[in-house]
Structure 1
Amino acid sequence: MDQLMAIRAFTRVVETGNFTRAADSLNMPNATLSKLVKSLEAHLGVRLLQRTTRRVMTTPEGREYYEKASRILIDLEDIDTSFIVSRNKPHGHLHIHVGGSTARDVLIPALPDFLSRYPDIRLDLGVADRPVDLISGNIDCVIRGGPLDDSSLIARHIGNASLITCTTPEYLKMFGIPAYPEELSNGHKLISYLSPLTGRAFPFRFQRDGEKKEIKPDHRIGVNESNAHLAAAIAGMGIIQTFTYSIKQELKQGALVEILHEWRPPVYPFHVVYPQNRHVTHRLRVFIAWLVEVFPEAVKG
């Protein structure tokens, strides 16, 4: 038995929760991976995994072994990296997940610079507003906006984006221009951004000179994807709050106009997030460093 490979196979099954996904991530046949895990269990004399028809779970012994073995693998990768980083250019495959409008308006326009700096890195972009499981999805990092509530992840702040309240000129001609946030609750048609996770509408938020207001909209239409959310506003369906970076062209061309100028929403923090129990590869380190460099400029309003 190749014990190191067996340990890698076992830890990937735990992290992905599935033999097939684990085998795919290690680029080996499912049967080979299964044999490695069984050999490791025979070597240790304990059952590490409890297999059912629907899922794979660790036994108490398996959980303890995973925690100790994963630390060893991280230490080993750190040792290897310390010897090769100084001599080799970063290379390999990065799996990155990002929301729709952030991908379209921020990340993708900037990526030619990254790819020119690091031609040996290959990128796979998962683009969706719905949160993803970094471990089971074998994702290296996520660019995530808003507050963070998962303590199992490491997050690095990469910048703040400004938000804007806007609608079409035609809408304002029909319904009038609100002067205060409270007026949005009196006959105005609001387009809510719905949480892709819970389906609940995010409130419209405002602040001025330290004073904060929050309007919970009785919305005309709700949308759970950022590009479609913007499209609904351009189509004249009502008022939205969205990122300034997403509507630069629409504002310049007059397709959308800002309202409630003195009541701008609070800035929105963005982070790059990755699992704390996963080794940070050289390619991921340079990607994070690049994001810290370019993201603040890319999200300027």
Structure 2
Amino acid sequence: MSDLASASSSSTTPVPSIETLQVFVRVAELASFTQAAQSLGLPKASASTAVQRLEASLGTRLFHRTTRRVQLTQDGQACYERCKDLLADLDDMQTLFQPAASGLRGRLRVDMPMRVAHDVVMPRLPEFLSAHPALEIELSSTDRRVDLVREGFDCVLRVGPLSDSTLVARPLGAMEMVNLASVEYLARHGEPRMLEDLATHRLVQYATTLGQRCPGFEWRDAAGVTHFLPMAGTLTVSDSGAYTAACLAGLGIIQVPRHGLEREVLDGRLRELLPDFLAAPMPVHLLYPHRRQLPRRVHVFMQWLAELLGPRLLPLSSAPSDVTAS
């Protein structure tokens, strides 16, 4: 080796190992050295040492550390996004020349609403995992709006309107809405036939964040214009499970997607109301980050989810293939 090459080699910063990057990404996703180490089957000290070595190698601090939490710094966030891409590219390279029939490999992290996860996805997930036994799925089911990039999700299923951001949204369709109340509630308060009848009824209020004001009973007229009718309500909830439970307990009327509570309607516990005054269908999108090339496992899972939900959704008229979303 020449003197020039020797000097260059000795001054070069060591390239972080793939294992070190995996540890860093896991700590960033779980915001915990302890949980990251446990999920990777490592001692906590090994996870901490790996991140310290990466920080030394890059010459920057990647985490704000306190006794209660671990949070990415601005440089750490940038490093996390690059590491995710790098590890995804590595996974793709490892399966590039394998036949599709060999199945997917790697870890897939997704988020979706609770009702969709429990009622639609979980019953069919064994089939998907049977076809891809080497795939590991982390499925978050929450009604809050997760931060796809910061929390490390590969894709997110979102129900409801979108706002602007840098994410890519794949429209799947729309969920038809329905008004429901329990038979016990209707026995006490009577069944409303017109909007005017709602003056003597209660609406279970739904808010993704408690403290938000509910605009009232939503309905769409023949021209497609959405209106809100203020209604009394003594209960506000922030997740779909509590929303359904409140209705079943006779605490008021709810407005929910038609698919999901068919069983409760068929067995007579809930009854549909005011079919001529329904809320606008709720759009459904798959969100994913902008990347040069998405891993094959993400593409395959999103296609499977789209086909699974398809029969339950109304078509979205003139919907673009990719839109800006949050």
Q: TM-score when scaled to structure 1? A: 0.79
Aligned to 1:266: 280
Task: Decide which of 244, 248, 265 is 2:262's aligned counterpart.
Answer: 248
Aligned to 1:3: 16
Structure 1 residues 105 and 191, CA gap change in structure 2 (3 angstroms): same
Structure 1 residues 219 and 83, CA gap change in structure 2 (3 angstroms): same
Counterpart of 1:35, as a letter, is T
Deviations 1:260-282 (Å, cap 9, x if unpaired)?
11112111122233444697433
Unaligned runs of 5+ in 2: 1-13, 315-326
1:241: Cα distance to partner? 0.8
Give the whole-Å Cα distance in 2 for the aligned partners of 1:24 and 1:277. Answer: 29
- Is 1:213 the counterpart of 2:224 in the alignment? no
Deviations 1:190-213 (Å, cap 9, x if unpaired)?
112232466543643211312421
> What are the residue-to-residue correspondences of 1:97-246 with 2, within 5 Å?
97-134=111-148, 137-149=151-163, 151-184=165-198, 186-196=199-209, 200-201=213-214, 203-210=216-223, 211-246=225-260
Aligned to 1:293: 307
Unaligned runs of 5+ in 1: none
The answer to whether the 8 A contact 1:166-1:256 is kept is yes
Q: TM-score when scaled to structure 2? A: 0.74
Q: Secondary structure at the match of 1:156?
A: strand
Counterpart of 1:208, as a letter, is D
1:153: Cα distance to partner? 3.6
1:293: Cα distance to partner? 0.8
Give the whole-Å Cα distance in 1 for the aligned partners of 2:51 and 2:86. Answer: 17
The answer to whether the 8 A contact 1:23-1:33 is kept is yes
Percent identity over paired residues: 34
Give the whole-Å Cα distance in 2 for the aligned partners of 1:21 and 1:274. Answer: 25
Deviations 1:32-67 (Å, cap 9, x if unpaired)?
3333343344445x223354424444365x666666
Structure 1 residues 267 and 37, CA gap change in structure 2 (3 angstroms): same
The answer to whether the 8 A contact 1:181-1:213 is kept is no
1:285: Cα distance to partner? 2.3
Aligned to 2:45: 31
Q: Secondary structure at the match of 2:143?
A: coil
Structure 1 residues 167 and 87, CA gap change in structure 2 (3 angstroms): closer
- Is 1:58 the counterpart of 2:83 in the alignment? no
The answer to whether the 8 A contact 1:85-1:282 is kept is no
1:135: Cα distance to partner? 5.0
Give the whole-Å Cα distance in 2 for the aligned partners of 1:73 and 1:86. Answer: 20
Give the whole-Å Cα distance in 1 for the aligned partners of 2:43 and 2:254. Answer: 49
Q: Secondary structure at the match of 1:245?
A: coil
1:146: Cα distance to partner? 0.9
Deviations 1:82-128 (Å, cap 9, x if unpaired)?
33464731134444333222223222233344344434434443333
Structure 1 residues 20 and 279, CA gap change in structure 2 (3 angstroms): farther
Deviations 1:168-197 (Å, cap 9, x if unpaired)?
34433443333433542x121111223246
The answer to whether the 8 A contact 1:96-1:141 is kept is yes
The answer to whether the 8 A contact 1:160-1:296 is kept is no
Structure 1 residues 145 and 198, CA gap change in structure 2 (3 angstroms): farther
Q: CA RMSD in A?
A: 3.5
Structure 1 residues 274 and 198, CA gap change in structure 2 (3 angstroms): farther
Structure 1 residues 271 and 20, CA gap change in structure 2 (3 angstroms): farther
Q: Secondary structure at the match of 2:97?
A: helix
Structure 1 residues 11 and 120, CA gap change in structure 2 (3 angstroms): closer
